[in-house]
């Protein structure tokens, strides 16, 4: 048994990866006289923010200070439940910042309680901006 995860930034590449994995597996099976069964489960899609909602999120995040906010992040391939929400409705996934710790879902992750007031201030500012619009 061989297992793995496929993550792509574009749906068409995801389709191609699934197709090619099946084709290559069938070809290897035929070449070596083996029976190969591919079970390909599509789990989390890539998390893609919407432009307008990202602009709102960045504007609200400036409450932390303009030099503390960056909207220029490289794409990430982690699995995220929120990706399904962004397929259904416009929105933006942001990182509040937690200091120098292991990443979320890592056993060594340590939530920084000092981030709580900053997170609350962000959500209040975002709500105020959206209600004013």
User: What pLDDT is recorded for position 98?
Assistant: 84
- Residue 63 in contact with residue 121, Cβ under 8 Å? yes
Domain extent for 12: 1-43
Along the 133 residues of the chain, how does pLDDT read in single tens digits?
888 889 898 889 999 999 999 999 999 999 999 999 999 998 888 888 999 999 999 999 999 887 889 888 888 887 889 999 999 999 999 988 888 888 888 999 999 999 999 999 999 999 999 999 8
Residues in contact with 128: Cβ distance below 8 Å, sequence separation at least 6, in sequence order: none
Say which residues have a Cβ less than 8 Å from residue 86's Cβ, sequence separation at least 6: 47, 48, 49, 50, 93
The number of folded domains in the chain is: 2
Claim to verify: residue 63 and residue 128 sit in the same structural domain: yes
CATH number, domain containing residue 58: 1.10.150
| Shared-domain flag, residues 31 and 84 | no
The verdict on 12 and 60 lying in the same domain is: no
Q: Are residue 35 and residue 5 in the same domain, yes or no?
A: yes
Do residues 32 and 87 share a domain? Answer: no
Using alpha carbons, select from 46, 41, 45 the residue that is nearest to residue 3: 41
CA distances for 116 relative to 33, 112, 121, 123, angstroms: 59, 8, 9, 11
Residue that is last in its domain, among 25, 43, 61: 43
61 in the same domain as 39: no
Residue written as token pair 């303009």: 66
Together in a domain, 66 and 102: yes
Both tokens of residue 35? 């029976």
């Amino acid at each position: 048994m061989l297992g793995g995860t496929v993550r792509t930034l574009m749906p068409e590449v995801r389709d191609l990866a699934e197709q090619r994995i099946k084709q290559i597996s069938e070809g290897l099976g035929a070449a070596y006289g083996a029976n190969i069964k591919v079970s390909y489960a599509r789990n989390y899609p890539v998390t893609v923010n919407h432009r307008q909602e990202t602009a709102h999120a960045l504007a609200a995040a400036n409450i932390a200070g303009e030099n503390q906010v960056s909207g220029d992040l490289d794409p990430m391939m982690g699995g995220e439940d929120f990706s399904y929400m962004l397929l259904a409705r416009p929105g933006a996934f942001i990182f509040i910042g937690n200091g120098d710790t292991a990443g979320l879902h890592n056993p060594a992750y340590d939530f920084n309680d000092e981030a709580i007031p900053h997170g609350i201030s962000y959500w209040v500012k975002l709500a105020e901006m959206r209600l004013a619009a």
